[in-house]
Structure 1
Amino acid sequence: MKASSLASMILSLNAVAMGENKADVVLKNCRLVNVYSREIIPQIHVAIKKDRIAYVGKDASHTVGEKTSVIDLQDKYITPGFVDPHIHIDQYVLPSEFAKKSLLSGTTTLFADPIDIVSVCGYKGFKEFVKMTQSLPIRIYHVIPGGLPVDRKFSHARTLTKNEENKGLDIESVVGLGEVFSWTKVTTRDPHTIASISNVLKNNGIINGHTAGASDKKLNAYIASGIFSCHEPIDYDQVLERLRLGMWVMMREGSIRRDLDKILPNVLSHKTYLDRLMFCTDGVSPKDIVEYGLIDHCIRKAISVGMDPIDAITIGSKNSFEYYGMSKDLGAIAPGKLADILVFDDLEKIKPNKVFVGGKLMVAHNSLVMDIPKTVIPKWIKKTVRTGTKFGEKDFVIRSKETTAQALVIRLDTEIITKLDQEDLQVRDGNVVASPDKDVWKVAAIDRTYGTGKKTVAFLRNFGADIGAFGCTQSFHENDMIIIGSNEKDMAFVANSLTKMQGGMVVAKNGNIVSKFSLPLAGLISSLSFEKTLDEYSSIDSKLVESGCKFKNPHLIPMFLPFLALPEIRILYTGVVDVKNRIYLKILNR
């Protein structure tokens, strides 16, 4: 959403504040939640000119003219719009559909890290994704993905060149570098990583951090390299260690992790300063958007454990804009600020009755009142699943001349965390087969970006569902096609189905599709409405859980199997990787 500059508005705002010019909108009879003075001030009037606030005080009658729209809020509370300072929205739903749900929740600003669309489509995809968000009636800022490649030795995701990074930083809505989550690349002074960090700092950009597992000298070295935030602390001790070293901490409550329960009670009991704390989601699934919300949920959670509502709202608004250096424009209701204003009946439910963005009414009585333009999707971005071949059963065979084979097995401890395991498996007609009795499955990673036809087939334990195969084209942050199967025939069927669909998730049994979730936009994002996307998304997990999968969110399993930033064993189309020791592993002990 295009905003006016304060410099271009000072004469107009000054004149309205003095009563020498008239406001476009006046909100009267408000209870102002003041995030500067930490108080709720009754009987406040707010005068708005174009998209900025000109006057905040007890009587705005001098700003009212014949054409001024005066809205009596009848003693309701007003707060600044909420902000998510770190979120991935290049997943599941179109930006336009996400914007609708975000506005309804009162989250009027998003700082998006489009790492996956870049890993598939490179700089062309980055530009296109930024373009998709520009006409939306919500503020979406972007960062250059700082996590690619995850590990230069193994990663095959597309990345940006130095020249492309510079061009990206010249885009108005781009504010810096996204999470640099392989912190070892910083502490070992990887030349490419250090060059990117230095370049962004020279351009006055902000750099987001990812310090899971880092402490003491490694954490110091990371911060000293110019990275001043982190969303990875999972408990209070990790939060405090980072605050003591001058970091800003984004307390995460999203679909991948929910950390507030382990952080907030101790923040309150220790009376920790709140000025460098923020809320973030890191990413929210369609189901969780409906069930929980976005930053509004974080604020409700904070209030429920005893935080003062004013403090919770401050963390959910002002603090993030101060971190990003945007406090002159956003984060509070005060003269000169952009008029992003939420209206609440109470400060417990935190459900906005009205939402204004830039002084324009977007939500009234829990419904959108502003048309949101549908995203225009170019044809090229719906043709990114290139497997280079049509698959048959033989493509998923693991050859052995023995009657039994001892195989490396990737064991699932959670949907996300894996461990190294082994199992003796039967060999039939020269093929090492999966074992339903031992809950050992075949798993394949397939190049779906470059069309090389390359793949790796290995074994997976603890999936547990009574299906033929399950496949997905979205995986963090390599975006290989991942197929989990009990038999080779269904694995081939799912791989071919995903290629034909040009992306998504498919559950199949006996050569029939049981459930599918179509993600044709870069193999990552649905082209459907939010409601239809939610139906397809929910169907995948429900079918797998009904079929006996041991995990609550089975769709996450193929998404994380190639993720090189987490322990212990990962699979890519180039091989099975021991992440800690940074080596490829043999699938069979021959």
Structure 2
Amino acid sequence: MSKGTAFHIQDWADVAPHLVAVASGRAPADLVIRGGRVVNVQSREVLDGWEIAVAAGRFAYLGPDAGHTIGEGTEIVDAGGRYVLPGLCDGHMHIESGMLTPAEFARAVIPHGTTTMFTDPHEIANVMGLEGVRLMHDEALMQPVNIFTQMPSCAPSAPGLETTGFEISAGDVAEAMAWPGIIGLGEMMNFPGVIAGDPQMLAEMAATMRAGKTVGGHYASPDRGVAFSAYLAGGAADDHEGTAEADAVARARQGMRSMLRLGSAWYDVESQITAVTERGMDPRNFILCTDDCHSGTLVNEGHMNRVVRHAIACGCDPLVALQMATVNTATHFGLERELGSIAPGRRADMILTSDLETLPVERVWARGVLVAEDGRCVVECPHIGWPDAARASVHLKAPVTTEAFEVAAPEGANRVRAKVIGVVENQAPTKALTAELPVSDGVVEGEGGVCQIALVERHRATGGVVNGFVSGFGYEGRMAMASTVAHDSHHMIVVGTSREDMAQAVNRLAEVGGGVTVWKDGEEIALVELPIAGLMSDSPAAEVAAKAEAMVAAMVACGCTLNNAYMQHSLLALVVIPELRISDLGLVDVTKFELTDLFEAET
């Protein structure tokens, strides 16, 4: 049982008699690992020379000598003095951000030692509704590693400020709580609604708590006073939106798990982990996660092993960092007795590595099965078979013309003061900026690093286009970049310096059924096809990553200098993170949660 096809785990209660028999020496183990150094995240120590026995996909014995569990047919693995540690857990993430389906995402991260993921498929919920969530949930359950699904809470993320393809109701949430792979409620982004006592938001949280499951949090506000307390009182149990030490401290003090994220573009571990490394706060209340990682990061840099390495580089003790990526996560979701540590009864998810700081992942087992070796996934990751409806999600009323991107100036104006979305490198929040922009023949033009941004409605073929301005990408010359990945409503976002290229980019994505395209001087120089809901590809991760790398290179060729600027691009419509965003209804001031004019009023 240690190698081959994926092993679907049985309940502990059902296999307990066999585990007892193995642990006591009355029955042989399936697998014994000897000669290693076991990382015990329960006690935060390394047990040199201790041995591990596995049976029925679970740990049966942990101790100085597993010889009594060895019998005919037992596979024996010599760890050769290397460390054996629990499989890594990602406490908060969106599979869709990897541009991959659950199967291909699993195939990409298994070689990096990730054996458990807590995923929120709210991206596809905005495009396909409950049916999209069900497809993600069902494919997740087919995988050789543990992928738990959090039922999306907010589609739309901010009612009244955006229009989604589908909406999620409190009834949908209550229904999904009975699905076998649902672990809780996805991040409650509508924190103003919770604070104001919105009946739907509170009903969703209540349905989750009545089911005995965890409510995910998302409090993207600097206000840590009364509003924060009101949000916590609603039931949110964790939060990954902190960006400063004070955020981590405030969450831990109020009984909330602080999730420190390192994604492709979110670098929020270093600024918060000092709450543990310098202030000495109890590390049990801190969890590591990725939130959003695109395929290039997964293939070339890693997944949760990358986050753990980064936390260690930021001064965290390696054993503490490993706790934050294993048992802390499992405990938070009520699964401490099921996974997250090498201890009797838990799922036999483990990693073999020669170094606890650099974490080279040499072998990975999940449920007692060898799933990766020397950087290769060695088991199948089954696909569900995505329906045609999922592959036809880009709906335009008609091909878009350059005129759709003309921003009319107030009558008689030669220059205008426009509100500008300011991108902040390596962070999700934006800045609300202003800029004096020139007017040519009655049309406002970008200038001095200020580009045009437009949101093109793509769910109901309304023909709607909302225009605005953005700065921070550094684009030069004639170019455009368009994407059907536009968190969270996932209309189409296009940023450019040329209205002609912007139109060509939008129409190209309609032609291929979604994805990301970059144009320069009237020619397409990069394309990542994402035919499933305009968000994902079921092609192998390496292929998608190669196209994503070419896309990043194309952005650089257009003058972009930001780290992982694609992630910044894809969040420009995220109307629940301050300060300024764009939606299909207009420009959104997220500090006030209201629509705002593009131009500043003259005084």
- The TM-score normalised by the length of structure 1 is 0.94
| Counterpart AA for 2:185 | L
How many angstroms apart in 1 are the aligned matches of 2:469 and 2:308? 42
Greater alpha carbon shift after TM alignment, 569-578 vs 351-360: 569-578
Q: Establish whether residue 366 from structure 1 lines up as the match of residue 379 from structure 2.
A: no
The one-letter code of the counterpart of 2:388 is K
Q: Measured at CA, do residues 533 and 565 of structure 1 come closer, stay the same or move farther in structure 2, by a change above 3 Å?
A: same
Cα gap change, 1:504 to 1:189, in 2 (>3 Å):
same
Aligned counterpart, 1:533 = 544
Q: Work out which of the residue numbers 76, 83, 86 in structure 1 matches 2:92.
A: 86
Deviations along 1:69-113, one digit per CA (max 9) or x if unpaired, are: 122223322111110010111121232222123211111100001
Q: Is 1:287 aligned to 2:287, yes or no?
A: no
The worse-fitting range, judged by mean Cα deviation, of 103-112 and 43-52 is: 43-52
| Unaligned ranges ≥5, structure 2 | 1-6
Does the Cα contact within 8 Å between 1:339 and 1:357 map onto a contact in 2? yes
Q: Is the contact made by 2:249 and 2:275 (CA closer than 8 Å) also made in structure 1?
A: no
Per the alignment, in what secondary structure is the counterpart of residue 322 of structure 1? helix
Residues 414-465 of structure 1: CA distance to partner in whole angstroms, max 9, x if unpaired? 365142424343233xx51524x54443322111012221222333445433
* SS of residue in 2 equivalent to 1:21: coil
Q: Which letter does structure 2 place at the counterpart of 1:172? A: P
Say whether 1:417 aligns with 2:434. Answer: no
- 1:485: which partner in 2? 496
What is the alpha-carbon distance in structure 2 between the residues aligned to residue 577 and residue 222 of structure 1?
A: 22
Measured against aligned partners, the alpha-carbon deviations of 1:324-372 in whole angstroms (never above 9, x if no partner) come to: 1111111111111111111122323212221110000112233322233
Distance 2:308 2:376 in 1: 21
Post-superposition CA distance 1:220-261 (Å, at most 9, x none)? 222222212111222222212221111111111222321222
Cα distance between partner residues in 2 of 1:313 and 1:460: 39
Distance 1:69 1:461, change over 3 A: closer
Unaligned runs of 5+ in 1: none
Q: Please say if 1:434 is aligned against 2:445.
A: yes
Matched with 1:258 is 267
The equivalences for 1:187-202 within 5 A come to 187-202=195-210
- Indicate which of 302, 306, 318 corresponds to 2:311: 302
Which residue identity is paired with 2:158? D
Q: Partner residue of 1:42?
A: 48
Kindly provide the CA deviation profile for residues 21-47 of structure 1, in whole angstroms up to 9, marking residues without a partner as x.
222112222221112222222222222
Q: What per-residue deviation string (whole Å, max 9, x for no partner) do you get for residues 524-550 of structure 1? A: 112322122112112222222222235
Q: Is the 8 A contact 1:253 1:281 kept in 2?
A: yes
Percent sequence identity over aligned pairs: 27
**What residue number does 1:142 align with?**
149
SS in 2 for 1:394: helix
Query: Which runs of structure 2 are paired with 1:396-475 in the superposition (5 Å)?
Result: 396-399=405-408, 402=412, 404=414, 406=416, 408-414=418-424, 417-428=430-441, 431-435=442-446, 437-463=447-473, 464-475=475-486
SS of 1:389's equivalent in the other structure is coil
2:30 touches 2:54 (CA, 8 Å); kept in 1? Answer: yes
**Residues 520 and 558, structure 2, Cα contact 8 Å, conserved in 1:** no
Contact 1:76–1:343 (CA<8 Å) still a contact in 2? yes
Give 1:3-82 correspondences, 5 Å limit. Answer: 3-82=9-88
- Partners in 1 of 2:495 and 2:216 — Cα distance? 34
Could you say if the C-alpha distance between residues 268 and 517 of structure 1 is closer, same or farther in structure 2, counting changes exceeding 3 Å? same
1:389 aligns with 2:398: yes
Q: CA deviation at 1:178?
A: 0.9
Name the aligned partner's letter for residue 434 of structure 2: D
- Relative to structure 1, the CA distance from residue 497 to residue 55 in structure 2 (aligned partners, 3 Å threshold; closer, same or farther) is same
State how far apart, in whole Å, the 2-side matches of 1:383 and 1:77 are: 47
Counterpart for residue 341 of structure 1: 350
User: Which of residues 330, 333, 336 is equivalent to 1:324?
Assistant: 333
Whether 1:101 and 2:111 are equivalent positions in the alignment is no
Note closer, same or farther for the CA distance 1:243–1:373 as it changes in structure 2 (3 Å cut): same
The CA deviation at 1:59 is 2.5
- 1:167 aligned residue (154, 164, 175): 175
The one-letter code of the counterpart of 2:90 is D
Q: 1:241-290: per-residue Cα shift (whole Å, max 9, x none)?
A: 22111111111122232122223344223322111111111121223224
Kept in 1, the 8 Å contact 2:23–2:69? The answer is: yes
1:181 equivalent in alignment to 2:192: no
Q: How many residues align?
A: 587
Q: CA-atom RMSD, angstroms?
A: 2.2
For residue 566 of structure 2, what is the amino acid of its counterpart? H
Q: Tell me how far apart the structure 1 counterparts of residues 468 and 310 of structure 2 sit (CA, whole Å).
A: 42
Aligned residue among 237, 242, 245 for 1:236? 245
2:4 corresponding residue in structure 1: none
| Aligned counterparts of 2:102 and 2:281: Cα–Cα separation in 1 | 36
User: Is 1:207 matched up with 2:215?
Assistant: yes
Instruction: Assess, with a 3 A threshold, how the Cα gap between structure 1 residues 454 and 71 changes in structure 2: closer, same or farther.
Output: same
**Matches of 2:300 and 2:520 in 1, distance apart?**
30
